[in-house]
Amino acid sequence: MNKIILEIRAGAGGEEAAIFAADLSRAYQKFALKKGWHFVILDYHQTSLNGYKTLVAEISGEGVYDSLKFESGVHRVQRIPKTEKAGRVHTSTVSVAVLPEVEPTQVQINSQDLEISFFRSSGPGGQNVNKVETAVRVIHKPSGLIVASQVGRSQAANREQAMSVLRAKLFEFKQNEEREKLGAIRKEQIGSADRSEKIRTYNFPQDRITDHRIGKKWHNIESIMDGNFEPIVKSFQKNKDMEEKDNS
């Protein structure tokens, strides 16, 4: 799969969680640039300190889903926030969902089930950066899902992008329902974003990243947060190859 929807949400930790959500989104963006992928931000809710409460992006390129699918889950960060005056280490969380793009034929959406509205795109701090209401918000009434796109130059472009996000979410929603029917119940990728529900911990004071699923650790956080995710990608690929070898 060569196109994904990336959704990042600040969890526990207030403003520091939002700041790390922005740090993580930039790290993925830089990694995409290194891989020659196309990274487009579709929707975002920015805080006054340039953090992100939420960010939705589309990433396209060769092998993008296989490389980033392991990022889905709750990421925990331990560091001294820029807003901390007493020098204490805070623990915050950010949730990440990686959804493969779904073709229109794979998900049937009834136009009568949609509530579509338009609004002005906004910049940092809620400033209006577009005097025309080109941004699009789509509500899928049966599921309650809400998606938006505000970076396109026209209503038509934003609507198309919003529908792409909606299809991906509905497809994931449908897959989860099917798994539950088969007895293979699993939690949603996003989860509750509680501090204990983590897949990975970024410990800045100790310069260490730990992935709790495969028990692997990496150092040099600054380099990884600068987009050098290749060591993590290779570790997951190696782990997958070992599992396939053991199962064969």
Q: Which two tokens stand for residue 84?
A: 């901390």
pTM for the structure as a whole: 0.79
Question: What pLDDT was estimated at residue 124?
Answer: 46
Strand partners, 114: 140
Which helix (H) or strand (E) element contains residue 218?
A: strand 216-219
Give the separation between CA 79 and CA 226, rounded to whole angstroms.
Answer: 17
Low-confidence ranges of the chain (pLDDT < 70): 1, 122-132, 178-197, 241, 244-248
**In this predicted model, what pLDDT tens digit does every residue of 114-164 receive, in sequence order?**
999 988 876 544 444 455 678 899 999 998 999 999 887 788 888 988 999
How does strand 73-79 pair with strand 200-203?
parallel
All domains of the chain, ordered by start, with CATH? 3-101+187-247 (3.30.70.1660), 104-181 (3.30.160.20)
Q: Which two tokens stand for residue 244?
A: 């396939």
Give the separation between CA 45 and CA 27, rounded to whole angstroms.
Answer: 18
Average pLDDT, the chain: 85
- Report how far apart the first and last C-alpha atoms of the chain are (Å, whole number): 25
Give the separation between CA 158 and CA 56, rounded to whole angstroms.
Answer: 13
Question: What pLDDT was estimated at residue 133?
Answer: 75
CB 170, CB 101: distance < 8 Å: no
